[in-house]
Chain A
Amino acid sequence: MRERIRFTFLDLILLIILFSGAGYILFRMKAELHYEWDWSAVASYIVRYDAAAESYVPGLLLAGLAVTFKLSVWSTVCASMIGLFMGLMKISKNVILKLTSSIYVGIVRNIPSIVFIFIFYFFISGQIADAFEFDHRADSVSWYGDLFSFLFASPPMFAVFISAVLTLALYEGAYMTEIVRAGIESVEKGQGEAADALGFSRYQKMRHIVLPQAFKRILPPMAGQVISVIKDSAIVSVISVQDLTFRGTELMASTYKTYEIWITITLMYFILTYGCSLAVGSVEKRMVRKGYV
């Protein structure tokens, strides 16, 4: 039974204060910035008409959003796997496994993300990409190359894209490790003891008793972390991955339409992350309705 929301006099005053505050900020923006607003070209950064191809093609910012999206998806996939393995390692009885996981989480969580990304990109990930000789290999085979471009990035950008995915995955993986560990440890001790009493092996105990229960508790914070991945992906623009933020800053340097472009980028990120929030919300509701939680 839902409680009805009542609109009181106090709410009215609060609303007036909020709106006048926003109005004041807008007014100051206009008075202080001396900025010549020009929104005319912004639409063409999202979708523009290509005369040569006689069709509409994505503009620079939409292309950037696509890169951000792909980056987020692959990073989430890799980070979840890292998180699951490292989380299991952290609760393992083996000292070395436990130590590896603790050191990993300890290092990643205690250095600023931008420093981590620079160090990892310049010293480590480049060599990994080199070793696989990703560069220019996909050039020669067409359908294979096209599929690669669609799923990841075009061959010239492939190495840097993979570097970015790895870096982001390792970074977010540390947080997911802690989520997984906390989820598993939150399962009541009695559950494990009952499994032991029934003669389950350690693997069976994990697979059939602990993990299914932990999974339900992991899911909500994990979903929040996925939204974090999207937001944090902006940081890889410093290693020149052509994501939404990088495209935006390049456009600003070309056109000097600083605020129009920042505002547009903000809205585009918001659409992506808010979309995810809504999706997560509906999944959670469904789980409650079906009695999983």
Chain B
Amino acid sequence: MKRSVLIVLSIILMFSGCAKKDHGNQLDEVKKRGVLRVGMSTFVPWAMNDKEGNLIGFEIDVATELAKDMGVKIEFVPTKWSGIIPSLLTGKFDVIIGGMGITEERAKKVDFSDPYDFSGMSIVASRKKAPDFKDLASFNKSEILIAARLGTTAAEAAKKNFPNAQLKLFDDEAQAIQELLTDRVHAVVASSPLPEYQAIKYSKRFYLPVEDTFENEPIGFAMKKGEDSLKSYFNSWIKKKTGDGFLKERKNYWFKTRDWEKRVE
């Protein structure tokens, strides 16, 4: 009896001994480790797999350049979008570089760098189910179903702009688009340029009710709270890379041209 109590106690002690060390300065830790671990999730064209299975995309270029300038190796940790913030907080990676929109809600849990990119939302609708809708207000009706990706700012934008419509949320955009293809929803809201691409790809079935994007939102790197030296390093890096045109040039390649499409399909 006494022995079993001892065993149980020692097991508890063992676990508490394993509790996480206080990491302190993450910038130093990254440099010491020689590897920057970046959390990301697949979003076309921010980050995706090419034919060889390598990661390519706007965010991949940004993160790779960042690691190069820091003088460390890069390591991508592909993560489900819905679990990306808890994964950051529990230290599975150092920073999220994944087209994450800066919002107040998220800023309560993580720190954001200055914005390095801006992204708008756009909406693609089904020709059959929602014919000839000319403005956003036409979608704000209780019988309208709108699909978006779970946990994204697109889902929030849809909630905000179409409070009367019903939302259907999916784990990734491919499922939302499939829902639109089967006419189970009227429209899909996502970060531009994804809806535009889909409208071109399925031009017979989809159309863009409004040409412009809405909800222009700032995009930043997300890191754990209180990592000030890491944050100021990122901010000065972003300032430098905005100045020398790197960010603009990469953005142009991934968002304005479609040269990369051959690399994916």
Contacts and interface: CB of A to CB of B under 8 A. Distances in A.
A258 B53 contact: no
Interface stretch (B44-52, B59-67, B95-103): B44-52
A50 B50 CA distance: 13
Contact of B78 (A41, A97, A250): A250
Interface residues of B, number: 46
Interface string A162-195: 0000000000000000000000000000000000
A240 B171 contact: no
A136 B182 contact: no
Contact of A255 (B75, B181, B265): B265
B63 to A, nearest CB: 14
Contacts of B41: 253
A254 B174 CA distance: 8
Contacts of A59: 53
Contacts of B183: 34
A156 interface: yes
A44 B49 contact: no
Contacts of A44: 51
A80 interface: no
Interface in B163-183: 171-175, 177-178, 181-183
Contact of A96 (B5, B17, B21): B5
Contacts of B33: 135-136
Given A250-B42, A253-B44, A254-B49, A130 B178 contact: no
B18 A252 contact: no
Interface stretch (A70-78, A120-128, A199-207, A217-225): A120-128
A238 interface: yes
B87 A127 contact: no
Contacts of B80: 237-240
Contacts of A254: 42, 44, 48-49, 264
A25 B21 CA distance: 56
A177 to B, nearest CB: 18
B1 interface: yes
A231 to B, nearest CB: 19
Given A249-B171, A252-B174, A33 B181 contact: yes
B75 A130 contact: no
B171 A41 contact: no
B78 A32 contact: no
Nearest to A63: B53
A34 B127 CA distance: 13
Nearest to B51: A44
A55 interface: no
A34 B181 CA distance: 6
Interface string A214-251: 00000000000000000000000111101000100111
Nearest to B79: A240
B153 to A, nearest CB: 17
Interface string A145-169: 0000000000010011000000000
A99 B171 CA distance: 40
Contact of B264 (A34, A48, A63, A255): A255
Contacts of A131: 17-18
Given A34-B205, A94-B4, A122 B90 contact: yes
A126 B91 contact: yes
Interface string B17-33: 11111000000000001
B151 to A, nearest CB: 13
B92 A60 contact: no
A58 B183 CA distance: 37
Contacts of B35: 136, 156
Given A237-B80, A249-B171, A250-B42, 17 more contacts: A33-B181, A44-B51, A48-B52, A100-B8, A123-B90, A127-B15, A127-B20, A136-B33, A160-B92, A240-B77, A240-B92, A250-B49, A251-B49, A253-B174, A255-B264, A256-B177, A258-B174
12 contacts: A34-B182, A63-B53, A96-B8, A100-B8, A126-B20, A127-B15, A130-B21, A131-B18, A136-B35, A156-B35, A156-B75, A240-B77
The 9 A-B residue pairs whose C-beta atoms are closest, nearest first, are: A131-B18, A254-B48, A253-B42, A240-B79, A253-B172, A96-B4, A252-B174, A60-B53, A254-B49
